[in-house]
Structure 1
Amino acid sequence: MIIEILKCHGSGNDFLLIDEYNKQYNFSEENRKKLAIKLCDRNNGVGADGILFFCKSNECDAKMRIFNADGSEAEMCGNGLRCVGRYVSEMLSRNVVKIETMYEQYEVKYLSSFYENIKGVKVKINNISSDTRNIPINTSQKQFLFNKILDFSDKLAFSSISVSNPHLIAIVDNIDVNKLEEIGVKTNNSSILFPRGINVSFVKILNENSIYVKTYERGVGLTKSCGTGMMASSTVVCINEPCRFERTLNVYNDGGMIKCKITKEKESVFSAEFSGNATYMFKGKVEIDFQNFDDFSFTLQHNFDNENEEYDKFLKYTNMSIS
């Protein structure tokens, strides 16, 4: 089978977008999983953090399904949503579109210039929750906020937030990547506390308007960025310092920066407006035999050199801002 792919990224979180809206690939669920494992492999595949399957929807303009590099399906992906949002907006020639995900529907607004010469997307997220029933987490507490988990650390205070998918956040003075990875592995390997695993983020306060977030993503590992992780981290920062609610935060990460504003709607319920890049890297064709996944080839068709060059300039700017 020949499959057309578009390599794209949001804040360095990179994906292979497969258009099932206009193409009839008729993938089985097992083949979606195998495709993700094979194509996302950075040594023997094309290389990516996940695959975005872009499909038709009965209720919205389109539907997004996200499969991680390990073949697992994620409930939601903020960075991926931006990429799909741009693709749908350009395909339909509309500035505002609605995208269906596993559990929610999101309104996405196309931005011709998120930053100088960088195309992006603005998204409204209404279903951020600190209710432990939505994480899920095995605890009797209604909210799990700023608590120690001695199995992970005797110093860090953790908070759990749902953004359709589960997040565990710790505010730290300095980002210890080794410690983050250690906790990420523990929480996603037979953790009694988190039955479905969880994304883990460390967040560092830079100043009153800026934070830095590093995430260990469930099903992926350490990533340059995680869109929902940045929203969850912003939410915890605002809960910790309520004066930050309704304030646009610059959320920096290894892959760039997004802008995020958190609103408290009611007890344990929050919303976010976040905007960031949606950058195309290259497109090509994959030829693969579903009976033998080792029989695989990739043909590059087009590099989006100008977009990549402009984003490199933006990345230099963000790196200077946090150095």
Structure 2
Amino acid sequence: MKINFFKYQGAGNDFILIDHTKDGLNTVDNKLIANLCDRRFGIGADGLMYITSHNKFDFEMHYFNADGKLGSMCGNGGRCIVAFAKHLRIIDKETNFLAVDGPHFARISENGEWVDLQMINVDDVKLDNDAFVLNTGSPHYVAFKDNLKNFDVFAEGKKIRYNETYSKEGINVNFVEEQRDHLFVRTYERGVEDETYACGTGVTAVAMAVAKHKKQSGHVKTDIKVLGGDLKIEFDYNDEKFSNVFLCGPAKLVFEGEFNVR
């Protein structure tokens, strides 16, 4: 049996997308998903998503990490699936869809290549020594680093992800360096178990951690640079709660094709 797929990327965070709006999502083959995400023996991706129909929302997002396991919220994946929904003509300029962490609103540009995705509100930010720990749909650890360009994100991120505190549930590990007009961010992602070119929930967590660290308040706008390009974060912050949170950036179709399922 041949299955049609679409490959999307959002600031270098890449995903395999499959349309299940017509036949529904009846079974999940975790091994197959992991094989498809493999960069040498499969299509290659940071994750895979199914888009399915929903009777109360425009669609529902089902996200799987590159290891084949069901994942928590993926911000760049959410932006890419919005672009995919526009490509499928499920939506036009705006949408309300359901993800694992709840409902999400999004706006998409006319050409379908820029998406502003509303993220969940956050009111719980903890400290782990000098690092910040918070959940923006996925759990994140945020640490400040100098000379981040030459930092070993894979080795140091893996140490934190698998340390005694976080090894059981896992955590995404973000390192940030403040520049004159933007934040430079690199992320080690659980489920991928490697550094990725971008992480949407990660840069959202970083922008919040920096706002808290610098005691910013009101409407905060933050420009982010990641290995795969540029992203923007906006939110309202009143010293206790982050609300009206938007992750903004590119979401582009790379190619489409078919794979065989035996």
Q: Is the shorter-chain TM-score for this pair beyond 0.5, marking a shared fold?
A: yes
Q: Residues 234 and 213 (structure 1 numbering): CA distance in 2 closer, same or farther, change over 3 Å?
A: same
Residue 68 (structure 1) aligned with residue 50 (structure 2): no
Q: Does the CA-based 8 Å contact 2:15-2:45 persist in structure 1? A: yes
**What amino acid maps onto 1:8 in structure 2?**
Y
Residues 180-215 of structure 1: CA deviation (Å, up to 9, x unaligned): 3223323443633453100000011112x4111100
Equivalent in the alignment of 2:2:
2
Residue 12 (structure 1) aligned with residue 12 (structure 2): yes
State how many pairs are aligned. 260
Q: Does the CA-based 8 Å contact 1:20-1:56 persist in structure 2? A: yes
Residues 26-61 of structure 1: CA deviation (Å, up to 9, x unaligned): 5523x1x12221101110111111101111123311
Equivalent in the alignment of 1:126:
120
Normalised to the residue count of structure 2, the TM-score between the two structures is 0.91
Q: Does the CA-based 8 Å contact 1:265-1:271 persist in structure 2? A: no
Residue 171 (structure 1) aligned with residue 141 (structure 2): no
Q: Residues 271 and 232 (structure 1 numbering): CA distance in 2 closer, same or farther, change over 3 Å?
A: farther
Q: What secondary structure does 1:197 align onto? A: coil
Alpha-carbon shift at residue 178 of structure 1 (Å): 5.4
Q: What secondary structure does 2:203 align onto? A: helix
Equivalent in the alignment of 1:212:
184
**What amino acid maps onto 1:9 in structure 2?**
Q
Q: What secondary structure does 1:250 align onto? A: strand
Alpha-carbon shift at residue 273 of structure 1 (Å): 1.7
* Distance in structure 2 (CA, Å) of the matches to 1:26 and 1:177: 43
* Distance in structure 2 (CA, Å) of the matches to 1:270 and 1:195: 29
Residues 262-288 of structure 1: CA deviation (Å, up to 9, x unaligned): 322562544422211110000001112
Q: What secondary structure does 1:281 align onto? A: strand
* Distance in structure 2 (CA, Å) of the matches to 1:59 and 1:265: 32
* Distance in structure 2 (CA, Å) of the matches to 1:76 and 1:177: 29
* Distance in structure 2 (CA, Å) of the matches to 1:63 and 1:100: 5
Select the residue among 258, 278, 281 that pairs with 2:231: 258
Equivalent in the alignment of 1:139:
none
Alpha-carbon shift at residue 176 of structure 1 (Å): 6.2
Normalised to the residue count of structure 1, the TM-score between the two structures is 0.75
- Larger RCO (alpha carbons 8 Å, 6+ apart): 2
5+ residue gaps, structure 2, are none
Report sequence identity in percent: 29
More helix by share: 1
**What amino acid maps onto 1:95 in structure 2?**
K
Alpha-carbon shift at residue 25 of structure 1 (Å): 6.5
Q: Residues 57 and 277 (structure 1 numbering): CA distance in 2 closer, same or farther, change over 3 Å?
A: same
* Distance in structure 1 (CA, Å) of the matches to 2:6 and 2:91: 19
Q: Residues 127 and 37 (structure 1 numbering): CA distance in 2 closer, same or farther, change over 3 Å?
A: same
Equivalent in the alignment of 1:144:
126
* Distance in structure 1 (CA, Å) of the matches to 2:246 and 2:47: 24
Q: Residues 76 and 170 (structure 1 numbering): CA distance in 2 closer, same or farther, change over 3 Å?
A: same
